[in-house]
Each structure stands twice: as C-alpha cells, then as structure tokens.
C-alpha cells in the first residue's frame, strides 16, 4: 500500500502503515488500540504515552486500526464508528502525538498471533521502547493477546509496557459502547461528558432536493461515511464549521427521514446554518452536536413545518445565548 502523509497542525502526521517506521524517528513510544471516540479514557492513555516520549526526547506514536477489526473478523457484529479516521487523527494531534500510524486491518494482519504481532509490528517495524495499552485491550489472532501477555513479551523482548486503568465519570467506566448508547438515546450532553468534547459529524455537502430553500430555510445536506455512527433521529442544536474554519455558524441540525415530504426511508443529515450566506456544495462541513431539541415530526402542511422551523431556530439562538460561556471554547473541537 502506498504510504500517505497527512499534515495536521504544525508537527503531527498520519502515516498509513506499509512497513518499518523511518529510522529518523528515535526512541519510539507507542500507544496501541482502536481508540474509537478518543474519549476521556483514550485521552488519559495517549497523554501518558506522550509524557513518557517527551521525558525521553522520543517520538510519540499512536498505532491504531482502520477499518474497525470487527469489520474483518466479525462483520455482522461490527459497530459503527464514532470518529472517522481524519477526525480521530486531529484529536490525537491535540494531545501532542507526533505520528498516528493507521494499520490497515485485513485478513493478513488478523492472522498474526500475539507473539507474531509483537515481533513484526512493535519490535521490528516500530522499534518500540515502550507500549501503553488499556486494561481491556486484546490483540493478535482471535483477540488472544492480553495486557498481561504483552507485559510478559515486553519483559522478554526488552520494551516496557504500561497498562492504563478505566477512567470513570459519575461512577461509570468510560467506553465507546457507553458513548454509542448515549448518542442512540439522543443524550448528547451525556456523551460529551464521556468524550470530553462535543460529538462531531463530518462530511461533504452534497445536493439535496432543494425543499428547504423553497420554504425559506436552505439546508446543507451532509454526506458522511457509511460506517459513521449516527445519534438518534431528531432535531439538534449544533455548531457548524465550513472547510478549514472558513466560516462558522449556529445551526439547526435534522437527522432523519423527512417524514413530511420525504419517502420515509432514506436517512439524511441536514443542517440549516443560521445567518449564513454562501455556496456550500462540495465543501467539507463539521458539525459539533450540542443538544437534542426534539424528536423528528411529521407535519400536515408546509406551513406547519415552517412555523416549527422558526421555533427551532429561536430555540438554537436561545441555547447559544444561555450556554455559550459553558460550551466555548473547550468543548468545541477545531478539526
């Protein structure tokens, strides 16, 4: 596979794994995991690895996987992802990571035993001086590798292993599964407590049916990756960022099937950017979800829908007026 570099910020880069890490990277310290969501538990783990790398004037590397390993080993039970790869990488860059190494997870990688994975990936290709993992991490063929086995292999092969315990919020261990269940219930604020930032949807604006424009509320139709996990259907307050922060705006976001005018089958993501003017087609759009306002509803007429959208816009304006000092700037992540 061709090696690909994606510059993020001043120093961090994403590399798609295709063999040994460049020997110019010295004293490599690795955080190993899937890290979907880059939630508070992941942030603690990665930060511990970065701290160790900095203390030794080394290179802080996150080795992660795409697609999700279960999409290869058990596709019928593979979860939708909370964070697309580029969003994941940008979040890691904010934690001080030097390199995000994306390991393409395929049948060949899945077939490696824990011992083979350790020797080939961690020792030969990454030259890891230390490896940091979570308490419940599994690796190698069939997920047979455990943190204890990794520690034992480290003792034999000459690299250190640090295992990070679960991070709890309000007595609950933070996990990607818990975040998905919160999003599925439309509990955006609860998901944000576990993430440490507001949930993000990111994609490209594509043409829609122009229905919003015809009733005075033009919308941006967001096309996201097929594997993207979506929160509950309904209307949300959101913060929209166009391109590389070319423009920002409050937004009314609707996730659903447009029951008033749509077929009721195809799920769409539509955002009305409040007080925004301009052409968005083909542009990247990032939406930070702030609050679930109401469930999706079917209206008897276009007039009723317009009246409700007016109320939704006012609700979003009120939300920002009341909550802005609490949500800015620390919970709105710039990607």
**What SS3 class is residue 292?**
strand
Cα separations (Å) of 30 from 19, 59, 149? 16, 8, 17
Asked whether 318 and 309 are in contact (CB, 8 A), the reply is no
Q: Using CA atoms, how far apart are residues 268 and 254, in angstroms rounded to an integer?
A: 8
What does the alpha-carbon distance between residue 132 and residue 31 come to, in Å, rounded to a whole number? 5
Helices (H) and strands (E) in the chain, counts: 10, 15
The β-bridge partners of 208 are none
Q: For strands 220-223 and 200-206, give the pairing.
A: antiparallel
Q: Which two tokens stand for residue 322?
A: 């009341």
270 is catalytic: yes
- Token digits of residue 14: 């994403």
Q: Strand, helix or coil at 279?
A: coil
Distances (CA, A) of 333 to 11, 42, 146, 176, 299: 18, 16, 33, 18, 35
Catalytic residue among 108, 116, 246, 270: 270
User: For residue 208, is it left (φ>0), alpha (ψ between -120 and 50) or beta?
Assistant: beta
* Residue 206 and residue 221 in contact, taking contact as beta carbons nearer than 8 Å: yes
The answer to whether the CB of 175 falls within 8 A of the CB of 167 is no
How far apart are the C-alpha atoms of 47 and 96, rounded to whole Å? 8
- Alpha-carbon distance of 331 to 312, in angstroms, equals 22
Q: Choose among 85, 97, 78, 79: nearest CA to 335.
A: 85
Q: Which residues are catalytic?
A: 270
């Amino acid at each position: 596979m061709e090696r690909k570099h994606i510059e993020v910020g001043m120093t961090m880069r994403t590399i798609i794994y295709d063999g040994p890490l460049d020997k110019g990277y010295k004293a490599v310290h690795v955080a190993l995991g899937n890290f979907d969501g880059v939630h508070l538990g992941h942030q603690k783990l990665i930060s511990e690895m970065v701290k160790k790398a900095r203390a030794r004037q080394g290179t802080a590397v996150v080795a992660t996987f795409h697609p999700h390993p279960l999409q290869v080993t058990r596709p019928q039970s593979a979860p939708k992802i909370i964070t697309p790869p580029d969003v994941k990488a940008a979040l890691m860059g904010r934690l001080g990571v030097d390199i995000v190494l994306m390991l393409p997870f395929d049948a060949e990688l899945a077939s490696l035993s824990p011992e083979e994975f350790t020797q080939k990936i961690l020792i030969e290709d990454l030259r890891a001086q230390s490896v940091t993992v979570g308490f419940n991490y599994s690796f190698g063929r069939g997920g047979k590798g455990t943190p204890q086995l990794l520690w034992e292999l480290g003792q034999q092969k000459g690299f250190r292993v640090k295992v990070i315990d679960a991070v709890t919020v309000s007595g609950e261990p933070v996990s990607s599964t818990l975040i998905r269940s919160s999003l599925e219930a439309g509990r955006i604020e609860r998901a944000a407590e576990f993430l440490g930032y507001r949930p993000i949807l990111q994609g490209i604006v594509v043409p829609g049916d122009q229905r919003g424009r015809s009733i005075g509320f033009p919308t941006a139709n967001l096309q996201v990756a097929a594997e993207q996990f979506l929160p509950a259907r309904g209307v949300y307050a959101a913060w929209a960022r166009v391109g590389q922060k070319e423009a920002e705006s409050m937004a009314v976001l609707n996730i659903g099937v447009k029951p008033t005018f749509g077929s009721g089958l195809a799920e769409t993501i539509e955002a009305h950017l409040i007080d925004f003017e301009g052409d968005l087609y083909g542009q990247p759009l990032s939406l930070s979800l702030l609050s679930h306002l109401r469930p999706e509803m079917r209206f008897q007429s276009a007039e009723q829908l317009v009246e409700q959208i007016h109320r939704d816009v006012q609700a979003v304006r009120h939300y920002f007026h009341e909550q802005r000092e609490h949500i800015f700037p620390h919970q709105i992540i710039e990607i």
